[in-house]
Homo-oligomer: A and B are copies of this chain.
Amino acid sequence: MAIRSASARWEGTLTEGAGTMRTGQGGLQGNYSFKSRFADGQGSNPEELIGAAHAGCFSMAMSKGLADAGFTPVSIDTTANVHLEAVNGQQTVTRIDLNTTVNAPGIDNDTFQKIAEGTKQGCPISRLLAPGTEITLTATLAS
């Protein structure tokens, strides 16, 4: 089993305060604030870290799915768009849209779409997030 650590420090009130999020192993660090989360202020926010985790997991798992089907992936580029909006007065992640573009020589589109859909269902972060939000996928073969 792996246990992965990260931390965050917030100082002050919700709207006037500010915080820092950091990962234990990767050494990533991002500042965040009310404005960078709920408006268009500079800085990071928890939702884009969820998106990075999901895109990262999907791309990695897709490499396994392709190899298991006999194809050698050259590159897998995935974007995650995480929707945050008020639902019954509570800020809620209502949807995550994954868009992936894959360069894997020799694969036909039907086989590719099946592997992509299976990866969307099966990758560890998809299985973590799917019970709590909607996930969509658009998968494209690089020409």
Contacts and interface: CB of A to CB of B under 8 A. Distances in A.
Interface residues of A, number: 83
A91 B64 CA distance: 13
Contact of A13 (B6, B63, B77, B125): B63
Interface in A106-139: 122, 124-125, 127-133
Contact of A7 (B7, B23, B39, B80): B80
Nearest to A122: B90
B60 A37 contact: yes
Given A3-B83, A6-B80, A8-B58, 8 more contacts: A5-B81, A10-B76, A19-B60, A21-B53, A23-B49, A26-B30, A49-B56, A50-B128
